[in-house]
Chains A and B, each alone.
Chain A
Amino acid sequence: MFYSKSNRRHFLQGIGGFTLGLPFLPSLVIKSARAEDPLPPKRFIALWSGLGGVLDSNWYPTANPSGPESLIYSASQTSDGSVHNYRKGPLQIVDGRISNVFGPEISAFKDQMNIVRGLDFMFHAVHHKGNLGNFATSNQNKTIGMPQIPSIDQVIGKVRDAGLLHRNIVVQSRAPLYDGSISYSYEGTPQNPTDIRQVSALSAKDLFDKIFKVAPPSGTFNRRQFIADKIRDDVQNLLSGISGDARRLSAEDRTRVQQHIDLLDETERKTRLVSSCGENSPPGNNTPYPQGENNPELAVANFKLFNDVIAIAFKCDSSRLATFQIRGEGIYEHGISHSSHEPSHQATVVQYNDWILKNIIADLLTKLNVEEANGKTYLDNSLIMYTQESCMNSHECISMPCVTWGSAGGEFATGNYIDYRNLNSNLFKPIRDYFYPGVPWNRWLATILQTQGLTPAQYERPGIKGYGEQFIERGESTLSPTDRRPAYQHQLADIGKILPGIK
């Protein structure tokens, strides 16, 4: 992937000069960046943990949503003649908790929260990283053959936030970076993304440094800038034949060397970046989480630092997108997931979810829940989504755990429990337990994309409504013997529309 030979260095110098000229006032920076748009920008964070296996009885509030039923599909539209309604009602706190998993720390955000039920992958995904739309990560895909597509955070960043300093922040606690990420890079390969606007690091300090640089006062020698400038000159010497023999470089070689210079220019630009949130200091800890470590306390400490960086990046409008992967950390590992329904194992699963929510997610919500403008907080203007790899049955992805916080700038009504399952359908027994079919996950992704300000024309692939491959399981394997087409085929016509009930 090579860049054009236009002089990016001059262009980037211009950007840096403009940034340097601004006063150190975050509110002014944000306003000037979006001077033509009076509304605060919308942001999206996707948090994800592997495995799953939380029983519905532990995840969801005990009672069904207390609000009315509303029609999604009439009897003439569904395959089995059932009427497909959804139900929506306010979340309730009982004994300090919304459910067994959502304890007091999360329940404090009840009014900004939605629990969504009945969002289904249309196929038996097993192990995957497809919650943001790249279903090809499913290890079933070797027989299905779906193409890799960018995850929705990448799409939003590419389409909507192209002008930002950093489009996407990818937080992972383990090396190698991007390996098995739910965020599938828009350009390059997942392991070798060539997108210069995506940023990730294994320590919060490195992540902060990648996003922000504090320029020394003018007139002070910027050592890193000096080094970058000299490296550039060194490479230029190669290209011009001052160093080495440029005649031995083919046109393709020269293009590659030029690309090296272009990338160096970006590196050099970062050495000159001004922190537009001058009062924020970088996290002190610069130690990546040790590979192979299972230390919940250390993991929490690290994630809280990442939360700091994300919150700063959002407040400074350096980025509006983040994806966040959380691993088992020794509390909950793969072997348990196969028998997560057994009481002792389920208790571990609940403990693990409680640990994530009260330590990591509640911390992030708190840091974002400060006023941005007009009485609304950064949290209000964002959509934070937490999902998992599997539903209550490990390897299965029906009625996926999905909880959101924030209203995406008023696009979502909040404080609700919404249940999209078709309780009148007898169709579904994928593996062991009965599931009621809900609505396709593809439509949920389309809902997120549109509420983040994109139009379908900006993200839909030719002939494919919604987002994500429209593969519907046909019951061809012993692992997934149920033909799911009756559950979802009729929903394909609406799969690109915003889900009802979100407002």
Chain B
Amino acid sequence: MYVREIKGRPAKQGLLFLQWILLWISTCVAGGLGLSGCFKQGDGISISRTTGSSDSILSTDDETDKANKGLPKSGPPKVTFQEFKSIIDARCLTCHGAGSGNGDFAQFADEKAWTDSPYINLNESGNDRLISSPIIARISGNGLDVPSANMPKNLPQIPSAEIEKIKNYILGIFSGTEGGSGETEIPFSCNPGTSPSDSPLKRLTKTEYVNSIRDALRFIGNSSIENAVFNNVSAKFTLIPEESTEEISGINDGTSQDHMDGYFEVGVAIGDALVPYKNTLLHGCASYTTPSCVRNLIRDFGKLIYRRPLTTVEIEFYYSAYLEAESDNESNLFAILFSAPQFIYHLEDQGIIAGSLPGTYALTPYELASRLSFHFWKTMPDSALFAAAELPPGNSASLMNESGYQAQVDRLFSDTRSDQSVKGFFNEWLELKKTPDVRQSNANEWHYGYAGEIDIFSNSDIYKDMISEIENLGLYYTKISDSPIESLFNSDISLAESTGLAQIYGVPQWNGSFNTSALRRFPAGERTGLLTRGALLASNEIETNPIVKGVRIRRKLLCDNLPPPPPGVVRPDTLVGLYTKREKVTAQTSDALCMTCHKDINHFGFATEDYDSLGRHRDQEQVFLDSNSRDFTGIDIDSTALANVFLGDTREVNSGIELNSAVGSSYKLKACVARNYFRYTYKRYENTVEDGCQLESIRNRLKSGTIKEFFKNIALDPMFKLRKPGA
């Protein structure tokens, strides 16, 4: 017995969607709005499915409802998200505030959070959307049978005018322009004059911290001594905890006791390591008994450590500390300097008010130099960048001069030191640290020859190479071939350096050179694009994991939120017998409640079922007769699936290659990459309202240009030179 997918549904969905579009347009035009009046500025948001609420979703299978879909005769008056939120905050947070346990509205800080929440259903349009959005049902009580109607309870009711505003806001959320694939491009909403979101104080990541120590030691002026001191101290770096792998590094940057103890020990170690060379540090000055020599040392060494000149007050503080110690004065001084908060944190506390943007400061030249350097090189500024920061704006080489700034951006990006940052972005955006280590296979059957000649047991090369392959692909298409983002999804280049990964791919090993002649290519028609690479395919089981593959694409490439499984969901028993993984997953997630999310997950995984759990291309799946058997039967792979990249996407894909094309060409991908790059650059989550202009700028760059321009030119965005600390 096989479970088959209902193939007829997608065709019907596509036709109804087209009907809806035509009906919507004709209604707008008839209402005197014209075609442009139908569409409002929206936001570059993605649509997620609401779950858990019995009154939330009208089934997309319900053709009757679709045919009877009510549409407004004219477009609703524009209501901004801020207007909507101010009503909610005023009327609802008394009972639904943070920690209330009644449904915490305070957690929905921005528009995306609200539109992704269970309270607004964007799967429908027009009146159906109002009926099926629980927030409307609760405040007006005229929706579906909702027990908690006529909110707020025991408080004055929301005035009808405000209810209308809430309704009009919800009606007016979705808009944009039609793309060639049927996708509607949804730009981020940009309101010029809006201050960026708050930029909290951040500490240096461990990589930045270690690199900055190494580079601050260039003050010594003797590379062999610099290396000796750095190597002496290196053993202490293990005391500093590694960054979390759960998010883009720097976002979750709490300081723990281990951090603090580690910073202290590193500082003390640096002090002790420098003492043998303390006279070298005076750079010709008389001695440590001469006050001006010590002050100058503090001034000049401190400038590198602080990444800006020290004030007189700061110099005197360290000089006093130097004198006050009863022993090891020089060592103590260096330890204290390298433990300064100005070294450990990205302190941007010197700027001036930035014009008309409330609460926003323009970075000083030194702060800008630091921001540039840490972004592109993961370390403090070098001498050239410092020099540019110190030139007056009138000088064409000045960092505060447009041409000088551009020159520094170009220099930093072109340097090989930016490779780490480029690779780091791809690593963190795609969560490559979660790549399964196939050595940790839990499949008893591995030793039954499933892996064949591929050695998956004894070394970690395959795992590491799967990660570095993606990083190198990102580097290649960003800095070397200067290609658009679509190239990542159409690429047939193999950068498999290890024997194991090359065997998985069935290609010769790559020698590490980016020269065109050295690049390996997959056989035609077998494998192209990011989604057919080992890191995004592998599981550490003998079976693939379509759900994991699908979740990653949905979350990381399309930025759709996926809630956890709702409580009380009953998972059907797994099919036992000669079934493919696709069939098993389909059966397991067939429950209606499960399908509210899994209809947006499973298909991505199914489309790449033409690759096995190591990432090898296949036409058949090896299904073992039972767990004790070495024998298997081959069942033909079915990798057809709906693309379902965006709402209403009824395209069918037949393979991982086609899925790559569908995802890579989408507006939604570009919006998602823009979000992730924002996070990578600023080490915080975006606010689609406050950061809309910057997000749109990043997105447009990716849409219209190359990855190189996208990566490099974020530094040219006005917001890059600003900081809003918050209240």
Chain A residues engaging chain B, CB cutoff 8 angstroms: 1, 126-127, 139-140, 142-143, 145, 175-179, 188-189, 191-196, 201-202, 206, 210, 221, 223-224, 226-228, 230-231, 233-235, 237-238, 242-246, 248-253, 256-257, 259-260, 263-264, 266-267, 270, 288, 333-335, 338-339, 394-395, 431-432, 474-479, 481
Contacts and interface: CB of A to CB of B under 8 A. Distances in A.
A339 B571 CA distance: 33
Nearest to A200: B258
A303 to B, nearest CB: 18
A7 B398 CA distance: 46
B351 A248 contact: yes
B727 A250 contact: yes
B178 to A, nearest CB: 38
Contact of A481 (B311, B324, B458, B576): B576
B587 to A, nearest CB: 11
Contact of A221 (B325, B351, B440): B325
B390 to A, nearest CB: 19
B200 interface: yes
Contact of B264 (A195, A202, A231, A333): A231
B563 interface: no
Given A226-B332, A248-B361, A267 B261 contact: yes
B206 to A, nearest CB: 10
Contact of B627 (A226, A249, A478): A478
Interface in B704-722: none
B256 A192 contact: yes
A393 to B, nearest CB: 9
B198 A288 contact: no
Interface stretch (B26-34, B233-241, B469-477, B607-615): B233-241
B332 A478 contact: no
B267 interface: yes
Contact of B198 (A143, A244, A250, A257): A250
Nearest to A477: B574
B320 to A, nearest CB: 9
A245 B245 CA distance: 33
B257 A253 contact: no
Interface string B238-262: 1101111110000010111111110
Nearest to B340: A234
A474 B576 CA distance: 12
Contacts of A224: 268
Interface stretch (B108-116, B182-190, B341-349, B597-605): B341-349
B260 A481 contact: no
Interface string B162-192: 0000000000000000000000000000000
B200 A238 contact: no
13 contacts: A179-B242, A206-B239, A221-B327, A227-B332, A227-B336, A230-B324, A234-B339, A243-B311, A248-B348, A250-B726, A252-B201, A257-B201, A478-B627
A189 B246 contact: yes
A139 B341 contact: no
Contacts of A1: 254, 256
A230 B261 CA distance: 15
B171 to A, nearest CB: 36
A227 B235 CA distance: 20
Nearest to A288: B238
B387 interface: no
Interface string B79-97: 0000000000000000000
Contacts of B565: 145
Given A221-B325, A267-B264, A260 B341 contact: yes
Contact of B256 (A194, A246, A474): A194
A300 to B, nearest CB: 21
Q: Which of the listed residues A339, A395, A431, A476 has the most CB atoms from chain B within 10 Å of its own CB?
A: A476
B336 A231 contact: yes
A476 B573 contact: yes
A250 B200 contact: yes
B198 A395 contact: no
Contacts of B35: none
B317 interface: yes
A237 B447 CA distance: 63
Contact of A257 (B267, B341, B574): B341
A329 B238 CA distance: 20
B241 A192 contact: yes
Given A188-B254, A231-B340, A238-B347, 7 more contacts: A191-B244, A227-B268, A227-B335, A250-B200, A263-B259, A476-B571, A477-B574
Contacts of A195: 257
Interface string B321-336: 1001111100010011
B3 interface: no
B379 to A, nearest CB: 21
A234 B316 CA distance: 12
B564 interface: yes
B65 interface: no
Given A194-B257, A267-B264, A249 B725 contact: yes
A206 B239 CA distance: 9
A188 B341 contact: no
B329 to A, nearest CB: 10
Nearest to B724: A250
B148 interface: no
Contacts of A248: 348-351, 361, 725
Contacts of B444: 338, 394-395, 431-432, 479
Contacts of B242: 176, 179, 191
Q: Which of the listed residues A202, A259, A431, A477 has the most CB atoms from chain B within 10 Å of its own CB?
A: A477
A478 B624 contact: yes
Nearest to A247: B349
Contact of B458 (A210, A235, A335): A335
Nearest to B543: A478
B626 interface: yes
A388 to B, nearest CB: 16
B315 to A, nearest CB: 11
Interface string B449-485: 0000000011000000000000000000000000000
A293 B547 CA distance: 37
B511 interface: no
8 tightest A-B CB contacts, nearest first: A126-B442, A335-B457, A250-B726, A248-B349, A221-B326, A263-B260, A476-B574, A196-B257
Contact of A251 (B264, B540, B624, B726): B726
A344 to B, nearest CB: 15
A54 B361 CA distance: 65
Contacts of A334: 439-440, 457
A223 B327 CA distance: 7
Contact of A127 (B238, B335, B442, B576): B442
B314 interface: yes
A231 B719 CA distance: 33
B440 A243 contact: no
Contacts of A142: 545, 548
A481 to B, nearest CB: 7
B154 interface: no
A339 B260 CA distance: 45
A197 to B, nearest CB: 9
B6 interface: no
Q: Which of the listed residues A224, A227, A432 has the most CB atoms from chain B within 10 Å of its own CB?
A: A227
A263 B257 contact: yes
B349 A244 contact: yes
B22 interface: no
B325 A431 contact: no
A244 B347 contact: yes
